[in-house]
Amino acid sequence: MYQFTEDCLIGVEQIDNEHRRLFELVNETADLLMKDTVNRNDVTKLFTELNEYAVLHFRHEEEYMQEVNDPELPRQKEMHQAFVSKLKEIELGDIKSTDDKETVKNILEFVARWLFSHILSSDTMIGVFQKMDAKNEETKDPFAFTDEYRTGIEIVDEEHEELFHIIRRANDLITEELLHDKYDEIMSVLDELRNYTIKHFADEEEYMVSINYNGLDAQKKTHEMFVDKLNDINLDDLDDNQQQYLIELVDFLLMWLVNHILKMDKKIPRK
Ligand SMILES: [Fe+2]
Ligand SMILES: [Fe+2]
Ligand SMILES: [Fe+2]
């Protein structure tokens, strides 16, 4: 069984229901494979339904993002597209040409994993930008580490606070004038952010292991995605466009962190 956990919820009812349905379809297909005799037609039929449902769902999700003006839309589109092409290859290739249960199981494993990590790492950011914009208008200082972010776990809170500091420094640098003179400084603060993030995730995961926390797997998936995002930062030619890119990047990093702390880290129990 592939668990659709509470962490996968994004708070938009239709999208949440569709994600849940996608998991059901994966599980139904997996159940079929558990039977002694596997009817290949049944598996193919369900798998085709899964494909069609995924395409339909991506359309709904993209429409919703368009509606709320979500800046992540182009990146989501790319990811959805890549997944759909991958599914198409699979449908035409492996399932129709083999009776091999293992192959089909591996495919399902891939589909379930992709969905799980995509929902956790990307879809949970849907709508966050809008909420944050509204909140920033009230609080004036989005980079302040306020009490609402505290988990009550000392090391985690200390490290989160430090992450806020580093992101604030990055933001200060990026919004300064004469940005092109600052290339090295910006690179070094972003490096620092990446290194400190990696250290923090390791510490946080170690703590979760120590208390046998059942949300560890979901946490690891989202941490991984964030580190990927940090590794993808590319400042090759720092010009005026790059400044816009950097402003959006820092925005994203802060929002990701806030969202992650509020939605996931705050659920980690204290010792
Ligand atoms: Fe998505
Ligand atoms: Fe954290
Ligand atoms: Fe975390």
- Give pLDDT tens digits for 214-250: 999 889 988 998 898 898 887 776 566 777 888 888 9
Q: What is the pLDDT of residue 91?
A: 66
Dump pLDDT digits (tens) for 34-49: 777 777 788 888 888 9
Q: pLDDT under 70 in the chain at which residues? A: 1, 91-99, 136, 139, 179-180, 237-240
Q: What is the pLDDT of residue 174?
A: 87
Separation of CA 261 and ligand 2 centre (Å)? 6
Under DSSP, the state recorded for 36 is S
Q: What is the pLDDT of residue 236?
A: 73
Q: What is the pLDDT of residue 176?
A: 81
Q: Which long-range contacts (CB under 8 A, 24 or more apart) does 18-21 make?
A: 18/53, 18/56, 18/57, 18/60, 18/61, 19/57, 19/115, 19/119, 19/123, 21/53, 21/57
Separation of CA 223 and ligand 3 centre (Å)? 6
Separation of CA 242 and ligand 1 centre (Å)? 26
Q: What is the pLDDT of residue 92?
A: 59
Q: What is the pLDDT of residue 199?
A: 98
Q: Which two tokens stand for residue 186?
A: 């910006």
Separation of CA 265 and ligand 3 centre (Å)? 5
Nearest ligand to the CA atom of 222: 3
* Structural domains for the chain: 6-126 (1.20.120.50), 130-267 (1.20.120.50)
